Amino acid sequence: MTGTPLRVGTRASLLARTQSGHVADALAAALDRDVVLVEVTTAGDVSAAPLVSFGGVGVFVSALRDALVRGDVDVAVHSLKDLPTAEHPDIALAAVPLREDPRDVVVARDGLTLGELGPGARVGTGSPRRASQLHALGLGFDVAGIRGNVDTRIRKVREGEYEAVVLARAGVARLGRLDEVTEVLDPLQMLPAPGQGALAIECLRVRSDLVDDVRQALEDPRTRAAVTAERVVLADLEAGCSAPVGALAEVAEGDDGDELWIRAVALSLDGSLAVRRSMTGRPEDAAGVGHRLAEEMVVDGAGSLLEERVP
Protein backbone atom coordinates (compact mmCIF):
# COMPACT_ATOMS: atom_id res chain seq x y z
CA MET A 1 0.00 0.00 0.00
CA THR A 2 1.28 3.45 -0.89
CA GLY A 3 0.47 7.12 -0.36
CA THR A 4 -1.58 9.02 2.19
CA PRO A 5 -4.51 6.95 3.52
CA LEU A 6 -7.79 7.55 1.72
CA ARG A 7 -10.44 8.63 4.23
CA VAL A 8 -13.87 7.06 3.66
CA GLY A 9 -16.73 8.76 5.51
CA THR A 10 -19.43 6.53 6.91
CA ARG A 11 -22.34 6.70 9.31
CA ALA A 12 -21.58 5.04 12.62
CA SER A 13 -24.26 2.32 12.55
CA LEU A 14 -23.19 -1.31 12.21
CA LEU A 15 -24.85 -1.61 8.80
CA ALA A 16 -23.25 1.59 7.51
CA ARG A 17 -19.82 0.59 8.78
CA THR A 18 -20.21 -2.87 7.27
CA GLN A 19 -21.12 -1.66 3.80
CA SER A 20 -18.56 1.15 3.94
CA GLY A 21 -15.96 -1.42 4.97
CA HIS A 22 -16.67 -3.41 1.79
CA VAL A 23 -16.20 -0.21 -0.23
CA ALA A 24 -12.97 0.59 1.61
CA ASP A 25 -11.57 -2.89 0.95
CA ALA A 26 -12.41 -2.62 -2.76
CA LEU A 27 -10.78 0.80 -3.03
CA ALA A 28 -7.67 -0.35 -1.17
CA ALA A 29 -7.25 -3.28 -3.55
CA ALA A 30 -7.98 -1.31 -6.73
CA LEU A 31 -5.93 1.80 -5.88
CA ASP A 32 -3.16 0.13 -3.88
CA ARG A 33 -3.67 2.62 -1.05
CA ASP A 34 -4.30 2.46 2.64
CA VAL A 35 -7.94 3.25 3.32
CA VAL A 36 -9.41 4.23 6.69
CA LEU A 37 -13.03 4.66 7.80
CA VAL A 38 -14.05 7.96 9.41
CA GLU A 39 -17.33 7.84 11.35
CA VAL A 40 -19.71 10.77 10.95
CA THR A 41 -22.90 11.19 13.01
CA THR A 42 -25.96 12.31 11.04
CA ALA A 43 -29.22 13.90 12.18
CA GLY A 44 -31.09 10.66 11.57
CA ASP A 45 -28.73 8.78 13.89
CA VAL A 46 -29.24 10.94 16.97
CA SER A 47 -33.02 11.41 16.96
CA ALA A 48 -35.74 8.92 17.82
CA ALA A 49 -38.35 10.96 15.94
CA PRO A 50 -40.02 9.42 12.87
CA LEU A 51 -37.92 9.99 9.77
CA VAL A 52 -40.77 11.74 7.99
CA SER A 53 -40.61 14.48 10.63
CA PHE A 54 -37.25 15.53 9.13
CA GLY A 55 -38.89 16.18 5.77
CA GLY A 56 -37.65 12.91 4.35
CA VAL A 57 -34.73 14.29 2.29
CA GLY A 58 -31.06 14.03 3.20
CA VAL A 59 -31.54 13.08 6.85
CA PHE A 60 -28.71 10.51 6.66
CA VAL A 61 -26.70 12.35 4.01
CA SER A 62 -26.10 16.00 4.92
CA ALA A 63 -23.49 15.45 7.63
CA LEU A 64 -21.41 13.20 5.39
CA ARG A 65 -21.59 15.75 2.59
CA ASP A 66 -20.56 18.49 5.01
CA ALA A 67 -17.55 16.40 5.98
CA LEU A 68 -16.61 16.07 2.30
CA VAL A 69 -16.86 19.81 1.70
CA ARG A 70 -14.81 20.59 4.84
CA GLY A 71 -12.12 18.16 3.72
CA ASP A 72 -12.55 15.86 6.71
CA VAL A 73 -13.07 12.86 4.39
CA ASP A 74 -12.13 12.10 0.78
CA VAL A 75 -15.01 9.78 -0.09
CA ALA A 76 -18.51 9.38 1.38
CA VAL A 77 -20.58 6.19 1.29
CA HIS A 78 -24.37 6.38 1.40
CA SER A 79 -27.30 4.06 0.93
CA LEU A 80 -28.39 5.41 -2.44
CA LYS A 81 -32.08 5.44 -1.53
CA ASP A 82 -31.26 8.12 1.10
CA LEU A 83 -29.67 10.44 -1.45
CA PRO A 84 -31.63 13.55 -2.51
CA THR A 85 -32.51 13.44 -6.21
CA ALA A 86 -31.21 16.98 -6.82
CA GLU A 87 -27.52 17.17 -7.67
CA HIS A 88 -25.15 18.83 -5.22
CA PRO A 89 -23.17 21.64 -6.90
CA ASP A 90 -19.86 20.64 -5.31
CA ILE A 91 -20.20 16.87 -5.04
CA ALA A 92 -20.11 14.16 -7.72
CA LEU A 93 -21.77 10.77 -7.59
CA ALA A 94 -18.48 9.11 -8.46
CA ALA A 95 -19.65 5.50 -8.48
CA VAL A 96 -22.65 3.24 -8.06
CA PRO A 97 -21.35 -0.27 -7.27
CA LEU A 98 -23.09 -3.53 -8.12
CA ARG A 99 -26.45 -3.57 -6.40
CA GLU A 100 -27.58 -6.00 -3.73
CA ASP A 101 -30.98 -7.68 -4.11
CA PRO A 102 -33.35 -4.67 -3.82
CA ARG A 103 -36.43 -6.53 -2.54
CA ASP A 104 -38.07 -6.14 0.87
CA VAL A 105 -38.25 -8.99 3.36
CA VAL A 106 -40.35 -9.98 6.35
CA VAL A 107 -39.09 -11.11 9.73
CA ALA A 108 -42.11 -12.52 11.57
CA ARG A 109 -42.82 -14.51 14.70
CA ASP A 110 -42.78 -18.29 14.44
CA GLY A 111 -41.39 -18.24 10.90
CA LEU A 112 -44.65 -16.95 9.42
CA THR A 113 -45.25 -15.15 6.12
CA LEU A 114 -47.47 -12.10 5.75
CA GLY A 115 -50.27 -14.26 4.40
CA GLU A 116 -50.11 -16.44 7.50
CA LEU A 117 -50.43 -13.55 9.94
CA GLY A 118 -54.01 -12.92 10.96
CA PRO A 119 -56.03 -9.70 10.62
CA GLY A 120 -54.98 -7.20 13.27
CA ALA A 121 -51.39 -8.46 13.35
CA ARG A 122 -49.04 -5.61 14.31
CA VAL A 123 -46.53 -5.13 11.49
CA GLY A 124 -43.74 -2.59 11.97
CA THR A 125 -42.24 -0.27 9.39
CA GLY A 126 -40.92 3.27 9.42
CA SER A 127 -41.59 3.72 5.71
CA PRO A 128 -44.80 5.28 4.29
CA ARG A 129 -44.05 3.40 1.06
CA ARG A 130 -44.09 0.05 2.83
CA ALA A 131 -47.04 1.04 5.02
CA SER A 132 -49.15 2.01 2.00
CA GLN A 133 -48.34 -1.22 0.19
CA LEU A 134 -49.05 -3.28 3.30
CA HIS A 135 -52.48 -1.63 3.56
CA ALA A 136 -53.02 -2.27 -0.16
CA LEU A 137 -52.63 -6.02 0.40
CA GLY A 138 -55.98 -5.93 2.20
CA LEU A 139 -54.91 -8.32 4.95
CA GLY A 140 -56.14 -6.11 7.79
CA PHE A 141 -52.78 -5.49 9.46
CA ASP A 142 -52.22 -2.97 12.23
CA VAL A 143 -49.34 -1.18 10.51
CA ALA A 144 -47.29 0.60 13.18
CA GLY A 145 -44.29 2.93 12.99
CA ILE A 146 -40.90 1.73 14.13
CA ARG A 147 -37.37 3.21 14.38
CA GLY A 148 -34.02 1.63 15.09
CA ASN A 149 -31.41 -0.46 13.35
CA VAL A 150 -31.93 -3.96 11.96
CA ASP A 151 -31.05 -5.61 15.27
CA THR A 152 -33.47 -3.41 17.21
CA ARG A 153 -36.34 -4.09 14.81
CA ILE A 154 -35.82 -7.84 14.79
CA ARG A 155 -35.51 -7.88 18.58
CA LYS A 156 -38.90 -6.17 18.88
CA VAL A 157 -40.42 -9.10 16.99
CA ARG A 158 -38.66 -11.61 19.24
CA GLU A 159 -39.93 -9.76 22.32
CA GLY A 160 -43.51 -9.72 21.03
CA GLU A 161 -43.88 -5.97 20.54
CA TYR A 162 -44.55 -6.59 16.85
CA GLU A 163 -45.64 -9.75 15.09
CA ALA A 164 -43.54 -8.87 12.06
CA VAL A 165 -41.34 -6.15 10.60
CA VAL A 166 -40.58 -5.35 6.97
CA LEU A 167 -36.96 -4.55 6.10
CA ALA A 168 -34.72 -4.11 3.06
CA ARG A 169 -33.17 -7.44 2.15
CA ALA A 170 -29.90 -5.72 1.24
CA GLY A 171 -29.25 -4.52 4.78
CA VAL A 172 -30.12 -7.87 6.31
CA ALA A 173 -27.82 -9.61 3.82
CA ARG A 174 -24.90 -7.27 4.46
CA LEU A 175 -25.20 -8.02 8.17
CA GLY A 176 -25.25 -11.78 7.54
CA ARG A 177 -28.73 -12.29 9.02
CA LEU A 178 -30.69 -13.71 6.10
CA ASP A 179 -31.40 -16.87 8.12
CA GLU A 180 -33.84 -14.79 10.21
CA VAL A 181 -35.92 -13.76 7.18
CA THR A 182 -39.28 -15.54 7.01
CA GLU A 183 -40.39 -14.22 3.59
CA VAL A 184 -38.88 -12.38 0.63
CA LEU A 185 -41.55 -10.14 -0.86
CA ASP A 186 -42.21 -10.29 -4.59
CA PRO A 187 -42.05 -6.80 -6.14
CA LEU A 188 -45.59 -7.45 -7.41
CA GLN A 189 -46.61 -7.21 -3.73
CA MET A 190 -44.10 -4.62 -2.54
CA LEU A 191 -42.09 -2.43 -4.89
CA PRO A 192 -38.88 -1.24 -3.22
CA ALA A 193 -37.79 2.34 -2.74
CA PRO A 194 -35.99 3.91 -5.71
CA GLY A 195 -32.32 3.05 -5.33
CA GLN A 196 -32.90 0.44 -2.61
CA GLY A 197 -30.07 -2.08 -2.32
CA ALA A 198 -27.57 0.20 -4.06
CA LEU A 199 -24.75 2.29 -2.61
CA ALA A 200 -23.72 5.81 -3.64
CA ILE A 201 -20.06 6.79 -3.50
CA GLU A 202 -19.48 10.55 -3.53
CA CYS A 203 -16.39 12.74 -3.93
CA LEU A 204 -15.79 16.45 -4.44
CA ARG A 205 -16.15 17.42 -8.12
CA VAL A 206 -12.89 19.40 -8.06
CA ARG A 207 -11.00 16.22 -7.22
CA SER A 208 -11.51 14.89 -10.74
CA ASP A 209 -8.63 12.39 -10.55
CA LEU A 210 -10.12 10.81 -7.44
CA VAL A 211 -13.60 10.79 -9.01
CA ASP A 212 -12.16 8.91 -12.01
CA ASP A 213 -10.24 6.46 -9.80
CA VAL A 214 -13.29 5.69 -7.67
CA ARG A 215 -15.49 5.23 -10.74
CA GLN A 216 -13.05 2.83 -12.37
CA ALA A 217 -12.69 0.86 -9.14
CA LEU A 218 -16.36 0.55 -8.18
CA GLU A 219 -18.81 1.52 -10.94
CA ASP A 220 -21.39 -0.97 -12.24
CA PRO A 221 -22.99 0.52 -15.40
CA ARG A 222 -26.14 -1.62 -15.25
CA THR A 223 -26.83 -0.62 -11.66
CA ARG A 224 -26.19 3.04 -12.53
CA ALA A 225 -28.72 2.89 -15.38
CA ALA A 226 -31.36 1.16 -13.25
CA VAL A 227 -31.16 3.53 -10.31
CA THR A 228 -30.98 6.56 -12.60
CA ALA A 229 -34.36 5.64 -14.10
CA GLU A 230 -35.86 4.99 -10.66
CA ARG A 231 -34.64 8.27 -9.19
CA VAL A 232 -35.84 10.30 -12.18
CA VAL A 233 -39.34 8.94 -11.57
CA LEU A 234 -39.08 9.99 -7.93
CA ALA A 235 -37.81 13.45 -8.84
CA ASP A 236 -40.41 14.06 -11.56
CA LEU A 237 -43.21 13.07 -9.20
CA GLU A 238 -41.75 15.61 -6.75
CA ALA A 239 -41.77 12.91 -4.10
CA GLY A 240 -39.10 12.72 -1.41
CA CYS A 241 -37.57 9.48 -0.17
CA SER A 242 -40.31 9.18 2.49
CA ALA A 243 -43.21 9.41 0.01
CA PRO A 244 -45.32 6.33 -0.83
CA VAL A 245 -43.55 5.74 -4.15
CA GLY A 246 -41.91 2.49 -5.18
CA ALA A 247 -39.84 1.84 -8.30
CA LEU A 248 -37.69 -0.97 -9.60
CA ALA A 249 -35.66 -1.02 -12.80
CA GLU A 250 -33.58 -3.86 -14.16
CA VAL A 251 -31.16 -4.13 -17.06
CA ALA A 252 -31.09 -7.45 -18.89
CA GLU A 253 -29.72 -8.75 -22.16
CA GLY A 254 -32.25 -8.55 -25.00
CA ASP A 255 -32.28 -9.61 -28.64
CA ASP A 256 -30.68 -6.33 -29.71
CA GLY A 257 -28.46 -5.65 -26.71
CA ASP A 258 -29.19 -4.59 -23.16
CA GLU A 259 -32.72 -3.45 -22.33
CA LEU A 260 -33.97 -1.52 -19.32
CA TRP A 261 -37.35 -2.33 -17.82
CA ILE A 262 -38.88 -0.25 -15.04
CA ARG A 263 -42.12 -0.39 -13.06
CA ALA A 264 -43.30 2.12 -10.50
CA VAL A 265 -46.19 2.79 -8.15
CA ALA A 266 -47.54 5.85 -6.33
CA LEU A 267 -50.07 5.25 -3.57
CA SER A 268 -52.37 7.06 -1.22
CA LEU A 269 -51.22 6.80 2.39
CA ASP A 270 -53.91 4.24 3.23
CA GLY A 271 -53.11 2.16 0.15
CA SER A 272 -56.67 2.34 -1.16
CA LEU A 273 -55.61 4.14 -4.36
CA ALA A 274 -52.60 3.47 -6.54
CA VAL A 275 -51.17 4.39 -9.92
CA ARG A 276 -48.96 1.66 -11.41
CA ARG A 277 -47.05 1.87 -14.68
CA SER A 278 -44.18 0.10 -16.43
CA MET A 279 -41.97 0.91 -19.41
CA THR A 280 -39.00 -0.41 -21.35
CA GLY A 281 -36.13 1.37 -23.05
CA ARG A 282 -32.38 1.44 -23.57
CA PRO A 283 -29.99 1.71 -20.60
CA GLU A 284 -28.20 4.63 -22.22
CA ASP A 285 -31.52 6.51 -22.15
CA ALA A 286 -32.26 5.64 -18.52
CA ALA A 287 -33.16 9.20 -17.56
CA GLY A 288 -35.43 9.54 -20.58
CA VAL A 289 -37.23 6.31 -19.72
CA GLY A 290 -37.76 7.57 -16.18
CA HIS A 291 -39.10 10.92 -17.42
CA ARG A 292 -41.59 9.27 -19.78
CA LEU A 293 -42.81 6.85 -17.13
CA ALA A 294 -43.34 9.66 -14.63
CA GLU A 295 -45.26 11.67 -17.25
CA GLU A 296 -47.64 8.75 -17.77
CA MET A 297 -48.10 8.37 -14.01
CA VAL A 298 -48.93 12.06 -13.64
CA VAL A 299 -51.52 11.78 -16.43
CA ASP A 300 -53.00 8.81 -14.54
CA GLY A 301 -53.33 10.86 -11.35
CA ALA A 302 -50.17 10.11 -9.39
CA GLY A 303 -49.67 13.77 -8.56
CA SER A 304 -52.99 14.07 -6.76
CA LEU A 305 -52.26 10.94 -4.74
CA LEU A 306 -48.93 12.34 -3.60
CA GLU A 307 -50.49 15.61 -2.48
CA GLU A 308 -51.62 13.59 0.54
CA ARG A 309 -48.20 13.97 2.12
CA VAL A 310 -47.08 12.66 5.47
CA PRO A 311 -47.04 15.56 7.97
Which active-site residues does the annotation give? 81-82, 129-130, 147, 153, 241
Residue type, 118: G
Residue type, 154: I
Dihedral of CA 110/112/118/123: which sign?
Answer: positive
Residues linked to residue 124 through DSSP beta bridges, in sequence order: 144, 165
Q: How many CA atoms lie within 13 A of 103 on its CB side?
A: 13
**Residue of 69, 78, 71, 8 lying closest to 37 (CA atoms):** 8
Q: Which residues contact 205 (CB under 8 A, 6 or more apart)?
A: 90, 91, 92, 211
Compute the distance between CA of residue 94 and CA of residue 205 in angstroms, rounded to an integer: 9
In order of 24, 127, 137, the CA distances from 190 in angstroms are 32, 12, 9
Q: How many CA atoms lie within 13 A of 124 on its CB side?
A: 23
Q: Label the pairing between strands 91-95 and 199-204.
A: antiparallel
Per DSSP, the chain holds a count of helices (H) and strands (E) of 10, 13
- The helix-helix angle for 286-299 and 221-236 (nearest 10°) equals 30
Neighbour-count burial of 236, counting CB atoms closer than 10 A to its CB (0-12 exposed, 13-18 middle, 19+ buried): buried
Neighbour-count burial of 184, counting CB atoms closer than 10 A to its CB (0-12 exposed, 13-18 middle, 19+ buried): middle
